[in-house]
Amino acid sequence: MKFWKYASVVLFVLLLASSQVFACTILAVGKDASADGSTMTSHTCDSNSDDFRLWLIPSMPAGTVRDIVLDGRAGSDFTGFPESNTYGPRAMILDTYTFEKPTNQYLHGMYSFANDKGLAMGESTCGFERGEQGTKLRAAFGKVEGIYDCYMLQDLALETCSTAREAVEFMGKMVDEYGWNGSCECINICDGNEVWVMEVYGGNIWCAVRIPDDAVFVAANRARIIHIDFDDPENYLYSANIKSFAIENDLWDGKGDFEPCNIYAPNKSSLLCTLREWRVLMLLDPSLNLLPPTVEDPDNYPMWVVPKEKVSVQTVHEICSDWYAGTEFDVSRTVYAGPFGNPLGTNYVYRPINMCRCTYIQCSNIKSWLPDAAKCLVWFGWGAPSTTYLTPLFASMTELPEFFYTGVRNEPFREDSGWWVCSGVQQDATINYEVASEVIKSIRDPRMETIYKLTDAIQTIAASMIDSGNEEGAIKLLTAYACDTAEDWHEIWIDLDKSLRSKLMFGNVDMRAPSEPQWWLDIVNEYTGDKLRPLAD
């Protein structure tokens, strides 16, 4: 094990050093805060390099031995898993795990997110500030020879667990016994009844809190559990040494409030993170009147909020599509946005939730009153949330359309790849976002409204079939419906890609040059004094 000890420590340090390149935003919605009584978790998986493919991993029989793989995601191929074990080029197999009972089927992405029992989750990678505390943390966590990263632990939890609490306890046990190998992660977990947020900091240290049923939680690459009630085991879970480890490694003096996020992952100064959290909290409840983190300590922000209005999947999609529009931080009204308000540039003054680098967005929508095979619904789309559709998938499906697991980033555009087609539409929108976004919404939004209603009806029919003893027929119905809906979206987006490029060619709109808006002229005049304005042809 000496080689793995050194390899894991080196990888851990590299992950810590690069943690700020990750940029995921997650939400968690309690059942009494949602519009339909479901629990919801969402995840915008933002990265320049994440693998965008999605697989359906079938149930594996008891006695199956699976590899415990570190950093085995990007470049991997899970077609035929577990018989086919084609992991990514950086993968290291550190151990194996033997299943004591048949596993759950689940949707396997860069971060796997839902199983056929209705357990769903997401993640947000958290960095911490440099300085004395950061140096101490690196030294303390580097002493522990961990074998689990977030990818692997979420896979294993979805394979073996059925409820959110069970998943927290299972993942906590694995971290206790085998250690963590990676950056701090904030993991949102739901099962239709309960919503939990778990933070794994490093070494063997973790904690989790149950979110109230009427509340919504948000994290944006920042650990947020600032309080643990050690006398409330129903709503708080944690590693046994969470206090002693902090004292032994001079991370906490044992006096005053024990704030796990500030002890183990302090990162309250980064506007890349705190501004997104402020924005979500204010969208959910404007009456909070929270001041932005440019002027207020984000530790004063509530760990969760009771929304003024019930939250739907559409609400989550809209929040994930936000770029601070109408605020002093509006990304679309900066020099980087160009004359047509493009919020999807690679440069920005303030990092928005809606990101050009978003690999995918997923929003689980778990209804506890339905049978497992009907309730395990996830809404999925590729690319920036503002320019993509959401299509319903069920973790109980027997197949996925082939375009879900076709193509890779470093190869040419493919029309038979879902990610590439959605990315094409996203790139078209950057030519003239104000025109393109209206075209996209005119095609997407009415269809989405219909699909929301139709999906609910299909779930009800499938549930009735299951209650009548015809689960196989119900799963066939859900599979056919989800595949047909996704394939229709794919064809619509192929046509949209072509029509947007034609409509906006050369930056024109239907080959007519658009006028530049006054807000953009004001920016240009401020920088040039109108001296560098081009003459008309």
Average pLDDT over residues 345-351: 90
Angle at 129 between CA 131 and CA 255, to 5 degrees: 75
Q: Tokens standing for 462? A: 């499938």
Average pLDDT over residues 435-454: 98
- Separation of alpha carbons 58 and 398, rounded Å: 8
**SS3 annotation, 206-259:** EEEEECCCCCEEEEECCCCCCCCCCCCCCCEEECCCHHHHHHHCCCCCCCCCCC
Q: What is the mean pLDDT of residues 254-264?
A: 94
Reported confidence tier of residue 229, pLDDT bands at 50, 70, 90: very high
122, pLDDT greater than 50: yes
CB contact at 8 A, 29 and 54: no
| Separation CA 259–CA 251 (nearest Å) | 11
pLDDT at 525: 87
CB 7 within 8 A of CB 129: no
For residues 292 and 231, give the distance between their C-alpha atoms in angstroms, rounded to a whole number: 33
- The closest alpha carbon to 115, from 484, 404, 338, 396, belongs to 396
Task: Please write the tens of the pLDDT for every residue from 135-176.
Answer: 999 999 999 989 999 999 999 999 999 999 999 999 999 999
Amino acid in position 123: E
Nearest-angstrom CA–CA distance, 331 and 350: 6
Structure tokens at 399: 């197949």
pLDDT at position 501 is 95
Determine the pLDDT at residue 22.
Answer: 56
Averaged pLDDT, 201-228: 97
Q: In the predicted model, is pLDDT for residue 18 greater than 90?
A: no
Give the pLDDT confidence score for residue 535 in this predicted structure: 44
Residue 528 Cα to chain centre, angstroms: 41
d(CA 266, CA 260): 9
Which pLDDT tens digit goes with each residue over 291-303?
Answer: 999 999 999 999 9
CA 316 – CA 375 distance, rounded (Å): 18
Helix or strand (DSSP H, E) at 318: helix 313-320
Q: What is the mean pLDDT of residues 403-413?
A: 93
Asked if residues 22 and 358 have their Cβ atoms less than 8 Å apart, the reply is no
- Show Cβ contacts of residue 399 under 8 Å, excluding neighbours closer than 6 positions: 56, 479, 483
Task: Give the C-alpha separation, 204 to 178, whole Å.
Answer: 8
Give the largest CA-CA distance in the chain. 77
Mapped onto helix, strand or coil, the DSSP state of residue 77 is strand
Poorest-confidence range of 141-145, 238-242, 401-405? 141-145
Q: Distance (Å, rounded) from C-alpha 65 to C-alpha 62?
A: 9
- Determine contact, residues 490/418, Cβ cutoff 8 Å: yes
> Which strands form 358-364's sheet, in the order they lie side by side?
216-220, 25-29, 40-46, 358-364, 377-382, 391-394
Taking the C-alpha atoms of residue 438 and residue 104, their distance in angstroms, rounded to an integer, is: 41
pLDDT at 283 > cutoff 80: yes
Whether 13 has a pLDDT exceeding 60, the answer reads: no
Domain ranges of the chain: 2-503
In this prediction, residues 237-247 reach a mean pLDDT of 97
Q: Name which of 91, 74, 112 is nearest 189 in CA terms.
A: 112
Average pLDDT over residues 284-288: 97
The confidence score (pLDDT) of residue 11 equals 40
Decide: 191 and 39 in contact? Cβ < 8 Å. Answer: yes
Q: Which fold has domain 2-503?
A: Penicillin V Acylase; Chain A (3.60.60)
CA of 239: how far to CAs of 101, 170, 245, 251, in Å? Answer: 26, 12, 10, 16
Please give the Cα distance from 163 to 460 (Å, whole number).
22
Q: What is the mean pLDDT of the segment spanning 529-534?
A: 56
Q: What pLDDT shows up at residue 83? A: 83
At 3 the pLDDT is 29
pLDDT, one tens digit per residue, over 37-67 is 999 999 999 988 889 999 999 999 999 999 9
Kindly tell me if the per-residue pLDDT of 125 is higher than 90.
Answer: yes
- The DSSP secondary-structure symbol of 48 reads S
Q: What is the pLDDT of residue 533?
A: 54
Give the least confident one: 57-61, 267-271, 362-366, 436-440: 267-271
Model confidence pLDDT, tens digit, residues 463-522: 999 999 999 999 999 999 999 999 999 999 999 999 999 999 988 999 999 988 999 999
What residues does 69 pair with on adjacent strands?
93
**pLDDT recorded at residue 301:** 95
In this prediction, residues 410-426 reach a mean pLDDT of: 96
The pLDDT mean for the chain works out to 92
Residue 259 pLDDT = 96
Place of tokens 């395990």: 376
Mean pLDDT of 357-364: 96
**Which pLDDT score is estimated for 532?**
52
Q: Give me the pLDDT at residue 134, please.
A: 86
d(CA 356, CA 353): 10
The answer to whether residues 276 and 352 touch, using CB atoms and an 8 Å cutoff, is yes
